[in-house]
């Protein structure tokens, strides 16, 4: 964003520093990004470089080795914008440390927080969150995983599906039905009865597994927060991190536009560069315009979420819809501008084309978010 002198449309210095650090890290994984982005397992070199950057400290509050007193949505957003431009694997690894541990940080018992959160901050322990089930996606309240207290333990039974970091995570925050409500339970990966399987892989490879919990027993203090109040922790997690998906999408969109622009400037047809032919320049300019519009909303929403996540969930949701849909359109147009070179396997633009697609489905699909925004709008007005 340009400096207009008012400070209104300029990132404060601490975020510019983070942006520069994240850019440096993203560029430093270029030599291994293609390999990591094709992998369904955690890449050890990407993990080591991310850990060395210490950026995962942003995912955890200061009390447990984090960077800021509380997790800062704008910091997460600005960093993800840089990381996703170079590697989806790197971006996901960074983001999930926060998404997988936020409930624990907000409401976990001190013993469990003290044990795990410093390891999450340093990336010694990989975090994951288990909400989705084979037959339950957007309609989370239909979930079937159960949690039942037995003496001083909680017994968890169920099947979680499409869990990012599944198989490689050290801890899972699992949402389960408990009585009439839903509780979030922290299940360490080595707990007897927990196993992972990798039956699915997506078009943009991702560390993803199913997590099966068969009579898994954890001590009572592994229930995060009050019994039956797990949904509010999931909501708090979304309110803090949803906008960061928008950041990642803007990073991908801009990376795609750069590739298309370079291609259009250097390739000649009909006696001149593509960038001067027919509708190509107009497409380039409208992609640029769309990216800047989405970025303005995203930074504003992320700054608002950094101040008060729950009160500004509507803005984060709007930014997620706007930026992910923009990214889809920009990447698609960029591919079109690059012709056959845009659809060639193993190229950066092909990776971006595949990586852009899932963002409109996870952490609230476009339709589900618009549905809840519509309900809020109709009921309460603007
Ligand atoms: C890369 C990736 C990583 C993921 N990581 C995790 C993870 O770490 N943990 C986890 O728990 N889950 C994870 N998921 C799962 C993700 O949360 C679900 O995919 C998401 O909740 C959507 O559920 P679904 O795919 O079952 O789609 P469905 O809920 O079946 O929806 C299908 C379609 O119907 C539309 N639809 C659904 N309900 C409505 C409605 N009320 N109004 C209008 N349209 C509607 C949707 O918008 C969508 O287009 C991940 C998914 C992906 C792709």
**How many angstroms from the chain centroid is the CA of residue 368?**
17
pLDDT band of 9, cuts 50, 70, 90: confident
Closest CA to 148 of 192, 172, 179, 182: 179
Q: How far is the CA of 361 from the centre of ligand 1 (A)?
A: 5
Query: Is residue 284 within 8 Å of residue 260, measured between CB atoms?
Result: yes
Mean pLDDT (the chain, rounded): 96
Position in ligand 1 atom list of the atom nearest CA 130: 11
Whole-number Cα distances in Å, 236 to 98, 112, 310 = 12, 19, 6
Mean pLDDT of 221-229: 97
Distance 363 CA to ligand 1 centre (A): 7
- Protein residue closest via CA to atom 30 of ligand 1: 137
Q: What percent of the chain has pLDDT over 70?
A: 98
Which residue has the CA at smallest separation from atom 42 of ligand 1? 368
Maximum pairwise Cα distance, the chain: 80
Q: Residue 230 pLDDT > 90, yes or no? A: yes
Scored b (16 or more CB within 10 A) or e, 152-165 reads: eebbbbbbbbbbbb
Gyration radius of the chain's alpha carbons: 21
Closest CA to ligand 1's atom 6: 163
Atom of ligand 1 nearest to the CA of 132: 11
Q: Is 356 in the pocket of ligand 1 (CB under 6 A)?
A: no
Average of pLDDT values for 245-260?
A: 98
Ligand 1 in contact with 202 (CB < 6 A)? yes
Q: Does ligand 1 lie within 6 Å of residue 206's CB atom?
A: yes
Give the nearest ligand 1 atom to 131 CA: 11
The CB of 313 under 6 Å from ligand 1? The reply is no
Residue 193 near residue 213 (C-beta atoms within 8 A): yes
140 Cβ inside 6 Å of ligand 1:
no
The distance of Cα 293 from the centroid of its chain, to the nearest Å, equals: 21
164 CA → ligand 1 middle, Å: 13
137 Cβ inside 6 Å of ligand 1:
yes
* pLDDT score for 2: 43
Nearest C-alpha to atom 51 of ligand 1 is from which residue?
362
Ligand 1: residue of 252, 365, 370 to mutate (most ligand atoms within 8 A of CB) is 365
Task: List, as own/partner pairs, every contact residues 258-265 make where C-beta atoms lie below 8 angstroms and the sequence separation is at least 24, other chains included.
Answer: 259/334, 259/338, 259/348, 259/349, 259/352, 260/284, 260/287, 260/333, 260/334, 260/335, 260/337, 260/338, 260/342, 260/349, 263/337, 263/338, 263/341, 263/342, 264/337
pTM: 0.97
- pLDDT band at 5, cuts 50/70/90? low
Is any ligand 1 atom within 6 A of the Cβ of residue 92? no
Residues 322 and 316: their CA atoms lie apart, in Å, by: 10
CA of 363, closest atom in ligand 1: 17
Query: What pLDDT sits at residue 7?
Result: 66
Shortest-distance Cα residue to atom 37 of ligand 1: 138
Ligand 1: atom nearest CA of 204 is 1
Average pLDDT rounded to a whole number, residues 287-295: 98
* pLDDT value of residue 6: 61
Tell me how far the alpha carbon of residue 279 lies from the centroid of ligand 1, in angstroms. 35
Q: Which is the closest atom of ligand 1 to the Cα of 365?
A: 47
Nearest ligand 1 atom, CA 128:
8
Over residues 137-162, the pLDDT tens digits come to: 999 999 999 999 999 999 999 999 99
**pLDDT, tens digit, for every residue of 170-213?**
999 999 999 999 999 999 999 999 999 999 999 999 999 999 99
The DSSP bridge pattern shows strands 127-130 and 171-178 to be parallel
Q: For ligand 1, is residue 131 a contact (CB within 6 Å)? A: yes
Sign of the torsion angle spanned by Cα atoms 90, 92, 96, 98: positive
Going by CA atoms, what residue is nearest to atom 17 of ligand 1? 362
CB 228 within 8 A of CB 181: yes
Is residue 378 pLDDT above 60, yes or no? yes
The single-letter DSSP state of residue 136 is B
- pLDDT mean over 214-223: 98
CA of residue 69 to ligand 1 center, whole Å: 32
Digit-coded pLDDT (tens) for 99-118:
999 999 999 999 999 999 99
- Map residue 110 onto helix, strand or coil: helix
pLDDT over 80 at 254, yes or no: yes
Pocket probe for ligand 1: among 132, 140, 185, 328, the residue whose CB has the most ligand atoms within 8 Å is 132
Residue 3 clears pLDDT 60, i.e. is over it: no
Measured in Å, residue 375 CA sits from the centre of ligand 1 at 19
């Amino acid at each position: 964003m340009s400096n207009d002198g008012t400070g209104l449309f300029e990132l404060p210095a601490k975020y510019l520093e983070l942006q520069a650090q994240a850019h440096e890290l993203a560029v430093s994984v270029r030599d291994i990004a293609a390999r990591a982005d094709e992998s369904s397992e955690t890449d050890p070199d990407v993990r080591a470089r991310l850990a060395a950057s210490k950026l995962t400290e942003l995912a955890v509050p200061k009390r447990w080795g984090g960077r800021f007193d509380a997790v800062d949505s704008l910091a997460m957003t600005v960093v993800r914008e840089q990381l996703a431009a170079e590697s989806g694997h790197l971006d996901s690894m960074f983001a999930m440390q926060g998404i997988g541990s936020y409930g624990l940080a907000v409401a976990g018992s001190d013993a469990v927080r003290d044990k795990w959160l410093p390891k999450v901050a340093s990336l010694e322990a990989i975090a994951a969150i288990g909400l989705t089930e084979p037959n339950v996606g957007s309609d989370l309240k239909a979930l079937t995983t159960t949690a039942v207290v037995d003496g001083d333990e909680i017994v968890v039974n169920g099947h979680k599906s499409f869990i990012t970091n599944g198989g490689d995570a050290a801890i899972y925050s699992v949402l389960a039905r408990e009585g009439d409500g839903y509780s979030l339970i922290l299940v360490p990966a080595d707990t007897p009865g927990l196993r992972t399987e990798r039956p699915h892989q997506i078009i943009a490879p991702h560390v993803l597994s199913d997590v099966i919990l068969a009579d898994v027993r954890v001590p009572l203090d592994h229930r995060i927060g009050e019994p039956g109040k797990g949904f509010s922790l999931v909501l708090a997690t979304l309110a803090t991190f949803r906008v960061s998906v928008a950041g990642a999408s803007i990073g991908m969109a801009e990376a795609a536009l750069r590739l298309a622009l370079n291609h259009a400037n250097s390739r000649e047809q009909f006696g001149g560069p593509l960038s001067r032919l027919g509708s190509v320049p107009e497409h380039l300019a409208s992609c640029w315009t769309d990216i800047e519009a989405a970025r303005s909303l995203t930074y504003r929403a992320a700054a608002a979420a950094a101040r008060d996540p729950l009160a500004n969930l509507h803005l984060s949701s709007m930014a997620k819809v706007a930026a992910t849909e923009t990214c889809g359109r920009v990447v698609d147009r960029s591919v079109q501008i690059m012709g056959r070179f845009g659809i060639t396997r193993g190229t950066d633009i092909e990776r971006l084309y595949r990586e852009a697609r899932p963002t409109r489905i996870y952490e609230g699909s476009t339709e589900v978010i618009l549905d809840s925004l519509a309900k809020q709008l109709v009921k309460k007005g603007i």
